[in-house]
Amino acid sequence: MTTRIALIGFGKIARDQHQPALAAHEGFDLVATVDPQLTADATSTPASFTDFDALLASDVEVDAVALCVPPQHRFAVACQAIEAGLHVLLEKPPGITLSEVADLEQRAATAGTVLYASWHSRHAPAIEAAREWLLPQTVTAVEIDWCEDVKVFHPGQAWIWEPGGLGVFDPGINALSIATHILLRPFALREATLDVPGNCATPIAARLAFVDTNGAPVDAIMDWRHEGPPRWQIRVVTDAGELRLEEGGGRLSIDGDVRIDEDKDEYGGVYDRFASLIQEQRSEVDLRPFTHVADAFMLGRRRTVEDFHE
Same domain, 157 and 246: yes
Question: Is 172 contained in some domain?
Answer: yes
Residue 217 is part of a domain; what is its CATH number? 3.30.360.10
Instruction: Give the per-residue pLDDT at 280.
Output: 98
Question: Is 161 contained in some domain?
Answer: yes
Instruction: Give the per-residue pLDDT at 256.
Output: 97
Question: Is 139 contained in some domain?
Answer: yes
Same domain, 136 and 251: yes
Q: Is the pLDDT score of 263 beyond 90?
A: no
Among residues 54, 84, 117, the one where a domain terminates is: 117
Residue 24 is part of a domain; what is its CATH number? 3.40.50.720
39 — pLDDT class (breaks 50, 70, 90): low
92 annotated active-site: yes
Angle at 116 between CA 112 and CA 117, to 5 degrees: 140
CA torsion, points 40, 119, 55, 12, in degrees to nearest 10?
-20
Question: Is 62 contained in some domain?
Answer: yes
Q: Is the pLDDT score of 119 beyond 60?
A: yes
Same domain, 92 and 174: no
Same domain, 72 and 184: no
Same domain, 88 and 138: no
Question: Is 276 contained in some domain?
Answer: no
Q: Is the pLDDT score of 40 beyond 60?
A: no
Question: Is 269 contained in some domain?
Answer: no
Instruction: Give the per-residue pLDDT at 12.
Output: 87
Q: Rounded to the nearest 5°, which phi and psi values hold at 47? A: -145, 140
Mean pLDDT of the chain: 95
Question: Is 286 contained in some domain?
Answer: no
Same domain, 158 and 298: yes
Average pLDDT of the segment spanning 112-125: 98
43 — pLDDT class (breaks 50, 70, 90): low
Average pLDDT of the segment spanning 9-33: 95
Same domain, 154 and 241: yes
Q: Is the pLDDT score of 44 beyond 80?
A: no
Same domain, 77 and 146: no
Question: Is 275 contained in some domain?
Answer: no
Q: Is the pLDDT score of 45 beyond 70?
A: no
pTM of the model: 0.96
Among residues 117, 139, 163, the one where a domain terminates is: 117
> What pLDDT digit, counting tens, does each position of 134-153 carry?
999 999 999 999 999 999 99
Same domain, 180 and 165: yes
Same domain, 32 and 155: no
Q: Rounded to the nearest 5°, which phi and psi values hold at 243? A: -105, 135
**Which percentage of the chain shows pLDDT scores above 90?**
93
Same domain, 241 and 257: yes
Domain that holds residue 250: 124-262+294-305
Domain tally for the chain? 2
Average pLDDT of the segment spanning 204-224: 98
Average pLDDT of the segment spanning 99-114: 98
Among residues 69, 86, 117, the one where a domain terminates is: 117
Same domain, 36 and 146: no
> What pLDDT digit, counting tens, does each position of 183-200 carry?
999 999 999 999 999 999
CB contact at 8 A, 131 and 138: no
How far CA 201 is from CA of 27, 160, 195, in Å, comes to 40, 9, 10
How far CA 248 is from CA of 82, 128, 145, 171, 179, in Å, comes to 32, 13, 10, 10, 11
User: Could you tell me which residue, 191 or 11, shows the higher pLDDT?
Assistant: 191
